[in-house]
């Protein structure tokens, strides 16, 4: 296959970037999208040009490192597929592909396609955990969890923290990411003691980081590589309201 | 170099409990005066960093990724073993211990393995309390499944994402401690040297991958939790950036490297499709519970699987190993696949593949049940190969997956360098010559949650450490060396990418130090590796600068270390003139083609000591004694 690529090149966080055009030859349909970029990079190095920087690690769709806008869509054209799991057979010979980094105020570009997603870690730091210290856990089977809740919690917990939801959202909202963690923990009996405080703290952290609000465009759900449902955002809103009604934090 | 494993005396059932109560404690008020460096934030590193911080120590935690949540533990699919005996099927701590020692083909330390089996039950409790969404039954109780190398059902799982969920549990505990100010996290930072002062590990030199700045960090103890080195083969199931640099730098500072040739080849991976292949993808071993493995009886049978009738198929694992069938340990399954492919009976375009067939399982239990169990794996397979495993059998082939070898540690997980601890896959400890499925998660978490917090406290309570200043000459010297190496890599400006040299090394190792090894092949590899290394330092092309993100520079540094490590792997494989577990030397096999151990000469851990740039590494032996499980010829027939 032959492809024309327009790739966002940006030297570092403080300078302006621009789209640069590359011609990619000898692309095999069985290659993954990242393998295609590898080949392009090898060709660039051969010509003495600096390779395109992009994040990647497991290349199995689970670590959440990779992610880029492919023709304006986060992770590209395939539903429920991370960039590393997207294969070139879904493109046509002669196609032109635009490749850009995640675009969001809360995810500043560091270089080329690499962005800073540390805001996600800070949302988790605000309360995305159960405060159990090592050694204090009761016997695992002494706490029952209904299969239904356990399965639903797992649906939410499947989030890989890639940031596609933010990149796709016209408001740059992190609601899908944040709601997935809030829902995962709120659905489990182990998560109950901190349930009310958690949702307030995590939503506050999300706002503090400069993410926008959710206005239900559902773009996040459409691009999520783990197909996480926007129902979790509804659940987060219910959790938030419930917490306010219970007067969390008031004397 | 002295290898003292420091195994507690007395009955094995009591040794850990007694050792625990005899170890010294650090006064709670003094704990915050101690700083610990944790390199790596996977299951072992994150769990240890969080647990040590909960105790009150100051922890500096480093990872090369942008977030600790991305460590490669996240990719473990199948599950985690624990001797809970929830199934009433005869499991016990002793049986898990026995299975692990036997699975490791009698090349692991009994006392360590027993402790691992004991702690397995606490891990499940801890993780369930953290909110890990383990699979449940309708009763609300935890579900289990069976896994290779075991006849009981003791594997806990969270769909096909067990590693992800366990890692996120540890990551969340870590983030809680970061928020509390007990852990200072350094993401996008790569350790490039270990600093030793007065014979004790006292710090590291690391490179900030955003700014290129080379900086020193000082502590009272250093812990390496940096994972395995399977990427030395270029193609493996490890994450692309997984590397051996941290453990290799420690080796060059005096930490012994144990059993470097013990590398696990996982039987169920998606076959290679072309030269551009950047990594291999594993399909969970749990698939072997329901899938049946077969190849055509006839050579070069190119018909589609569906046209090959039952009598024309060879279910070779079930035929050769009637009692374990498709659930034989990984090394046995991998080698058997290689054999049938070498006979010309392999499937797929390149003939390097065998079928893993779910047709009968789907017929017996229905598509819904199979989808519930393996849905995400089937999807992943289809995405990569464009074939639907609900309709046609999967094609699988073995791939490098895990390294049992690693830095040598004693019972307290301390290396041969005082104050340097090594946990998780980075150490050599518990798996002997072959790791059983669902044991890596167990070991990483046992080390991190339940062993290191005790043994490291004991070290800090008893070690007499002076204050080490950051302007100590040892830090300056090391910073200078690290900076010099970075400059050197950028200045070569040759013609080849680091990737292409890495590919060359990987191919050489796979062919000569892979699933089957011979003296001749290993000697050949030992001749070739220095040539490739020379080629690298003469002809590698690393573009860009050293004061901003430069992924090619990171990669080149890691490849340079792999090029040295590969040589010690081959030396170790050559020296071990026996077959055991994953290490199959063609010269040493039973008449029916199984691995032939030589307990008289090789019942030991081979620990290699660095002997300078020019010197040949020196091998030291830690003799292994088996008091509880009598070494026998492993049989899964």
> Which helix (H) or strand (E) is B357 found in, with range?
strand B354-357
Q: How far apart are CA B498 and CA B493, in angstroms?
A: 11
Say if the Cβ atoms of B136 and A39 lie within 8 Å.
no
Examine residue B204 and state whether it is found in any structural domain, yes or no. no
Q: Which residue in chain A is spatially nearest to B77 when comparing CA positions? A: A62
- Give the pLDDT band of residue B160 (cuts 50, 70, 90): confident
Examine residue B566 and state whether it is found in any structural domain, yes or no. yes
Q: Is B220 exposed, middle or buried (0-12, 13-18, 19+ CB in 10 A)?
A: buried
Indicate if the pLDDT at residue B364 is higher than 70: yes
Contact B373, B358 (CB under 8 A): no
Taking residues B30-59, what's their average pLDDT? 98
* Total domains in the fold of chain A: 2
Examine residue A43 and state whether it is found in any structural domain, yes or no. yes
The pLDDT of residue B621: 98
Per CB-CB distance under 8 Å, the chain A contacts of B126 are 132, 134-135, 137
* CATH code, domain carrying A55: 3.10.20.30
Q: Does A20 share its domain with A106? A: yes
Examine residue B77 and state whether it is found in any structural domain, yes or no. no
Q: Domain containing B549: what range?
A: 478-610
Given B400, B431, B464, the domain boundary residue is: B400
Q: Does B390 share its domain with B487? A: no
Residues in chain A, overall count: 251
Examine residue A250 and state whether it is found in any structural domain, yes or no. no
Across chain B, what does the average pLDDT equal? 96
Substitution target in B50, B134, B136, B160 with the highest count of A β-carbons within 10 Å is B136
Q: Does A127 share its domain with A101? A: no
Ordered per-residue pLDDT tens for chain A, 251 residues: 999 999 999 999 999 999 999 999 999 999 999 999 999 999 999 999 999 999 999 999 999 999 999 999 999 999 999 999 999 999 999 999 999 999 999 999 999 999 999 999 999 999 999 999 999 999 999 999 999 999 999 999 999 999 999 999 999 999 999 999 999 999 999 999 999 999 999 999 999 999 999 999 999 999 999 999 999 999 999 999 999 999 866 66
Q: B8 is written with which tokens?
A: 């507690």
Say if the Cβ atoms of B552 and A137 lie within 8 Å.
no
CA distance B234 to chain A (A): 14
Q: Does A58 share its domain with A144? A: no
Q: Which residue in chain B is spatially nearest to A134 when comparing CA positions? A: B51
Per CB-CB distance under 8 Å, the chain B contacts of A158 are 159, 161, 164
Say if the Cβ atoms of B541 and A45 lie within 8 Å.
yes
Indicate if the pLDDT at residue B85 is higher than 70: yes
Examine residue B558 and state whether it is found in any structural domain, yes or no. yes
Indicate if the pLDDT at residue B636 is higher than 80: no
Q: How far apart are CA A37 and CA B318, in angstroms?
A: 42
Contact B394, B291 (CB under 8 A): yes
Per CB-CB distance under 8 Å, the chain A contacts of B129 are 130, 132, 136-138, 140, 143, 190
Examine residue A77 and state whether it is found in any structural domain, yes or no. yes
- Give the pLDDT band of residue B146 (cuts 50, 70, 90): confident
Examine residue A155 and state whether it is found in any structural domain, yes or no. yes
Examine residue A56 and state whether it is found in any structural domain, yes or no. yes
Say if the Cβ atoms of A64 and B70 lie within 8 Å.
yes
Q: Does A32 share its domain with A83? A: yes
Indicate if the pLDDT at residue B148 is higher than 80: no
From A46, A63, A130, residue closest to B70, measured CB to CB: A63
The pLDDT of residue B637: 78
| Catalytically active residues of B, by annotation | 330
From B75, B173, B178, residue closest to A63, measured CB to CB: B75
Q: B572 is written with which tokens?
A: 């170790």
Given A88, A111, A134, the domain boundary residue is: A111
Q: How far apart are CA A67 and CA A48, in angstroms?
A: 26
* CATH code, domain carrying B383: 3.90.700.10
From B75, B84, B187, residue closest to A58, measured CB to CB: B75
Examine residue B396 and state whether it is found in any structural domain, yes or no. yes
Q: Does A124 share its domain with A240? A: yes
Contact B201, B187 (CB under 8 A): no
Indicate if the pLDDT at residue B149 is higher than 80: no
Q: Does A228 share its domain with A125? A: yes
Helix, strand, coil share (%) of chain A residues, nearest 5: 40, 15, 50
Which tens digits make up the pLDDT trace of B201-220?
999 999 999 999 999 999 99
* CATH code, domain carrying A143: 1.10.1060.10
Examine residue A239 and state whether it is found in any structural domain, yes or no. yes
Q: Domain containing A97: what range?
A: 3-111
Q: Does A234 share its domain with A204? A: yes
Say if the Cβ atoms of A139 and B125 lie within 8 Å.
yes
Contact A193, A242 (CB under 8 A): no
3-state secondary structure string across B107-145: CCCHHHHHHHHHHHHHHHHHHHHHCCCCCECCCCCECCE
Q: Does A63 share its domain with A154? A: no
Examine residue B301 and state whether it is found in any structural domain, yes or no. yes
Per CB-CB distance under 8 Å, the chain A contacts of B377 are none
Q: Is the ipTM of this structure higher than 0.85?
A: yes
Taking residues B525-541, what's their average pLDDT? 98
Q: β-strand B221-224 against B35-39: which pairing, if any?
A: parallel
Taking residues B275-293, what's their average pLDDT? 91
From A118, A143, A154, residue closest to B159, measured CB to CB: A154
Indicate if the pLDDT at residue B122 is higher than 90: yes
Q: B83 is written with which tokens?
A: 């001797």
Examine residue B38 and state whether it is found in any structural domain, yes or no. no
Q: Does B377 share its domain with B496? A: no
Q: Does A160 share its domain with A85? A: no
Say if the Cβ atoms of A57 and B544 lie within 8 Å.
no
The pLDDT of residue B246: 98
Q: B456 is written with which tokens?
A: 């490291």
The pLDDT of residue A250: 65
From A51, A114, A143, residue closest to B552, measured CB to CB: A51
Q: Does A52 share its domain with A160? A: no
Q: Does A26 share its domain with A102? A: yes
φ, ψ of residue B140 in degrees (nearest 5): 95, -5
The pLDDT of residue B556: 98
The pLDDT of residue A249: 62
* CATH code, domain carrying B521: 1.20.58.100
Say if the Cβ atoms of A137 and B86 lie within 8 Å.
no
* Total domains in the fold of chain B: 2
Q: Does A76 share its domain with A7? A: yes
Which tens digits make up the pLDDT trace of B300-343?
999 999 999 999 999 999 999 998 999 988 888 999 999 999 99
Substitution target in A134, A137, A147, A232 with the highest count of B β-carbons within 10 Å is A134
């Amino acid at each position: 296959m032959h492809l024309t690529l327009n790739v966002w090149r940006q030297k570092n966080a403080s300078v302006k970037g621009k789209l640069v055009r590359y011609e990619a030859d000898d692309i095999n349909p069985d290659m993954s999208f990242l393998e295609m970029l590898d080949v392009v990079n090898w060709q660039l190095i051969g010509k003495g040009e600096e390779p395109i920087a992009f994040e990647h690690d497991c290349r199995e769709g689970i670590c959440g490192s990779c992610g880029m806008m492919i023709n304006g869509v986060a992770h590209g054209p395939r539903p429920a597929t991370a960039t590393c799991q997207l294969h070139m057979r879904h493109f046509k010979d002669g196609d032109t592909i635009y490749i850009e980094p995640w675009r969001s105020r809360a995810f500043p570009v560091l270089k080329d396609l690499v962005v800073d997603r540390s805001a996600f870690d800070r949302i988790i730091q605000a309360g995305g955990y159960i405060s159990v210290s090592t050694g204090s856990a009761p016997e695992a089977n002494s706490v029952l969890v209904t299969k239904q809740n356990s399965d639903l919690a797992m649906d939410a917990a499947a989030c890989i923290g890639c940031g596609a939801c933010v990149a796709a959202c016209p408001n740059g909202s992190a609601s899908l990411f944040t709601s997935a963690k809030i829902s995962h923990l709120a659905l489990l009996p182990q998560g109950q003691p901190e349930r009310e405080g958690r949702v307030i703290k995590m939503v506050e952290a999300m706002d503090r980081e400069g993410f926008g609000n959710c206005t239900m465009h559902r773009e996040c759900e459409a691009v999520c590589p783990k197909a996480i449902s926007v129902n979790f955002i509804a659940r987060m809103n219910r959790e938030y309201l419930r917490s306010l009604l219970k007067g969390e934090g008031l004397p | 170099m002295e290898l003292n494993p420091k195994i507690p005396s007395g009955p094995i059932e009591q040794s850990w409990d007694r050792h625990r109560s005899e170890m010294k404690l650090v006064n709670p008020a003094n704990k915050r005066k101690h700083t610990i460096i944790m390199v790596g934030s996977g299951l072992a590193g994150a769990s240890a960093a969080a647990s040590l911080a909960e105790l009150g120590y100051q922890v500096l935690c480093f990872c090369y990724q942008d977030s600790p949540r991305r460590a490669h533990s996240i990719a473990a699919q199948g599950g985690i073993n624990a001797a809970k005996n929830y199934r009433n099927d005869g499991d016990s701590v002793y049986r898990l211990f026995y299975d692990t020692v036997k699975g490791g083909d009698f090349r692991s330390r009994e006392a360590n393995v027993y402790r691992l089996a004991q702690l397995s039950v606490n891990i499940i409790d801890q993780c369930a309390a953290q909110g890990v969404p383990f699979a449940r039954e309708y009763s609300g109780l935890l579900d289990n499944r069976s896994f290779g190398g075991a006849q009981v059902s003791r594997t806990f799982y969270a769909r096909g994402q067990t590693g992800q969920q366990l890692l996120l549990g540890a990551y969340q505990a870590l983030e809680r401690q970061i928020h509390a100010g007990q852990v200072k996290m350094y993401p996008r930072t790569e350790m490039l040297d270990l600093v030793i002062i007065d014979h004790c590990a006292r710090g590291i030199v690391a490179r900030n991958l955003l700014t290129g700045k080379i900086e020193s960090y000082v502590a009272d103890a250093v812990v390496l939790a940096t994972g395995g080195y399977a990427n030395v083969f270029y193609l493996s199931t490890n994450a692309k950036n997984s590397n051996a640099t941290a453990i290799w730098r420690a080796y060059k500072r005096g930490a012994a490297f144990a059993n470097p040739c013990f590398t696990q080849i996982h039987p169920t991976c998606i076959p290679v499709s072309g030269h551009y292949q950047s990594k291999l993808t594993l399909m969970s071993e749990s698939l072997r519970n329901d899938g049946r493995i077969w190849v055509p009886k006839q050579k070069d049978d190119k018909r589609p699987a569906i046209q090959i009738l039952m009598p024309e198929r060879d279910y070779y694992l079930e035929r050769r190993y009637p009692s374990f069938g498709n659930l034989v340990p990984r090394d046995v399954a991998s080698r058997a696949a290689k054999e049938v492919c070498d006979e010309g009976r392999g499937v797929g375009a390149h003939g390097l593949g065998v079928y893993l067939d779910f047709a009968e399982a789907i017929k017996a239990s229905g598509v819904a049940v199979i989808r519930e169990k393996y849905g995400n794996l089937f999807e992943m397979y289809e995405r990569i190969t464009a074939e639907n495993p609900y309709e046609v059998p999967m094609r699988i082939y073995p791939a490098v997956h895990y390294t049992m070898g690693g830095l040598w540690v004693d019972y307290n997980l301390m290396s041969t360098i005082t104050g340097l601890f090594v946990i998780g896959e980075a150490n050599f400890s518990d798996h002997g010559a072959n790791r059983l499925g669902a044991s890596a998660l167990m070991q990483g978490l046992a080390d991190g949650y339940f062993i290191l917090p005790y043994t490291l406290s004991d070290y800090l309570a008893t070690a007499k450490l002076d204050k080490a200043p950051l302007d100590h000459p040892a830090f300056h010297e090391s910073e200078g060396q690290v900076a010099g190496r970075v400059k050197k890599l950028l200045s070569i400006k040759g013609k080849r990418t680091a990737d292409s040299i890495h590919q060359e090394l990987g191919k050489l190792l796979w062919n000569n130090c892979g699933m089957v090894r011979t003296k001749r092949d290993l000697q050949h590899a030992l001749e070739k590796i220095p040539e490739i290394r020379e080629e690298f330092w003469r002809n590698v092309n690393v573009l860009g600068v050293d004061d901003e993100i430069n992924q090619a520079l990171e990669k080149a540094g890691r490849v340079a270390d792999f090029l040295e490590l590969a040589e010690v792997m081959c030396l170790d494989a050559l020296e071990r003139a026996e077959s055991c577990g994953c290490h199959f030397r063609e010269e040493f096999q039973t008449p029916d083609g199984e691995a032939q151990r030589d307990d008289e000469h090789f019942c030991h851990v081979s620990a290699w000591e660095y002997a300078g740039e020019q010197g040949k590494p020196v091998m030291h032996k830690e003799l292994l004694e088996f008091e509880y499980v009598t070494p026998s010829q492993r049989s899964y027939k």
